[in-house]
Structure 1
Amino acid sequence: CPYGKTRDNCEAECFIKVEEVFEQYGEQGCAIIVEPLLQGSAGMKIYPPLYLKKLRSLCDQYDVLLIADEIATGFGRTGKMFACDHAGITPDIMCVSKGLTGGYLPMAITITTEEVYQAFYADYKEGKAFMHSHTYSGNPLGCSAALAVQKILKEDFVLEKAKKRAGYLTEQLNSKLLDRDYVGEIRHIGLIHAIELVEDKKTKRGFSSEERVGYQIYKEALQNGLLLRPLGNVLYFNPPLIIDEEEIDEAIKRCVKSIDSYMVSRI
């Protein structure tokens, strides 16, 4: 952090950069889109809920729409139904998918506030309707799967159980891997856990991208019957919400074996 902050004392000081951009372009801008709390493909980077609160306030100030991409974070993945819930904010537009149907069928929804909806709702003759659709809109099988998943989430208390499993996963990953010389950090939100692999633990200097360390460990893990997702020097756990402690223990065991095996081979 260029401001010398840690996760324990961060007050989103870096938000000043966003304020500078809005000051310069806010009057021209119509919307800003963010992945709330978790930047997925950027390396599973996690930022504080306060950042989202400040962004919501700034968007209101400049009359800019806030679009939340909850495709990867929605439906309990971060420990709450939606990542925006951690900040207690409501976006103007929310994109959801993935967990919507539990992965059984492809489906996505773009959700808007009533104000945004009404901006495009009118009699056809007024010519302001948002005439957009695609071939598979409203697929009945996809909708049925989505409704079934939402029912199970509620009736089986899936999110409540997942929250307990998330704590256990954090505890076990930290105890098994955090003291390794090649692990710089294990960051997490909900059941999502990202292991940052480093060449120098003190400076947090990562391995050279040419080595493709994450990908090499991913291949090693496949041989051990475990599917890990590599993002550069980051390996991340993103297990199903219904995983149990026995499965967590087995996954971590295979993960540690895979990482250790590769690290020994490169000496």
Structure 2
Amino acid sequence: IVQGCAGMRIYPPLYLQKLRKLCDEYGVLLIADEIATGFGRTGKMFACNHAGITPDIMTISKALTGGYLPMAIVCTTDKIYDAFYDDYNKGKQFMHSHTYAGNPIGCATALAVLKIMKEEKILEHAAEKATYFHNALMDTFGAHKNIGEIRHIGLINAMELVTDKDKKVGFDGNLRIGYEIYKKALTHGLLLRPLGNVIYFNPPLNIENKDLDKAIALAKQSMDEVLK
């Protein structure tokens, strides 16, 4: 659903549905990387929920512990799990582990995060903030001469920096405009993420509207100072 650091491009759920169908047809395992998109980042618990499909393997991390502790999980279907499960002397097992596997503090943190998400209805509130945030970004940057488009899903919003709004011509990569805006924003107390000619926002799901407004204002100030 979200391409990630290769440009923050967003594609329709139908793509995943067709991909799931092709994988089933040819016996190919479908792996969903939900490291960055899981736990409400895209407006649903997992990005693949938008397409209503289930992958064969799913990787999850980051928001699993709210970013406080490093922890990751690989989930598989029963079919894949059973392929490696047997008596030890059969030699079928997948002998892989690492020192901190099943770290009790990490697991306790993950459980606490999941409990908070459920009890405080984080996803429901985040959906309201997502609408508010995108509308506010459009009001501020929608007509900006150096913003080609604002792609969004959930609270994720990516702004494409261009020299020509109509032709969507990007800045010369050697200028590193996104990085310059990032550096300027730091001086104003705002941390942005530049990816070439793309500046994107991926705020916490429980962020307050006033903080979203402040982030937008500082981003606008920083951008205008660099592009003046």
Q: What is the one-letter code of the residue matched to 2:19?
A: L
- Tell me which of the two structures has the higher relative contact order, counting C-alpha pairs closer than 8 angstroms and 6 or more residues apart: 2
> Match for residue 140 of structure 1?
104
> Match for residue 20 of structure 2?
56
Give the alignment's TM-score, normalised by structure 2: 0.99
Q: What is the one-letter code of the residue matched to 1:94?
A: M
Cα distance between partner residues in 1 of 2:199 and 2:220: 12
> Match for residue 74 of structure 1?
38
Gaps of 5+ in 2: none
Cα distance between partner residues in 2 of 1:107 and 1:130: 20
> Match for residue 162 of structure 2?
198
Shift of 1:106: 0.2
Q: Secondary structure at the match of 2:31?
A: strand
C-alpha distance after superposition, 1:95-114 (max 9, x if no partner): 00000000010000000001
> Match for residue 162 of structure 1?
126
> Match for residue 64 of structure 2?
100
| 1:201-216 alignment, distance < 5 Å | 201-216=165-180
Q: What is the one-letter code of the residue matched to 2:43?
A: G
Q: What is the one-letter code of the residue matched to 1:119?
A: A
Could you list the structure 1 runs, at least 4 aligned residues long, displaced by more than 3 angstroms after superposition.
none
Shift of 1:258: 0.5
Q: What is the one-letter code of the residue matched to 1:162?
A: A
Give the alignment's TM-score, normalised by structure 1: 0.85
Q: How many residues are paired up? A: 228
Cα distance between partner residues in 2 of 1:133 and 1:250: 44
2:113 matched to 1:149?
yes
Cα distance between partner residues in 2 of 1:58 and 1:142: 37
C-alpha distance after superposition, 1:13-71 (max 9, x if no partner): xxxxxxxxxxxxxxxxxxxxxxxx00111110100000000000000000000000000
2:141 matched to 1:180?
no
Gaps of 5+ in 1: 1-36
Q: Secondary structure at the match of 1:65?
A: coil
Cα distance between partner residues in 1 of 2:55 and 2:210: 38
2:193 matched to 1:229?
yes
* C-alpha RMSD of matched pairs (Å): 0.5
Q: How high is the sequence identity, in percent, across the aligned residues?
A: 64
Q: Secondary structure at the match of 2:80?
A: helix
Cα distance between partner residues in 1 of 2:95 and 2:189: 47
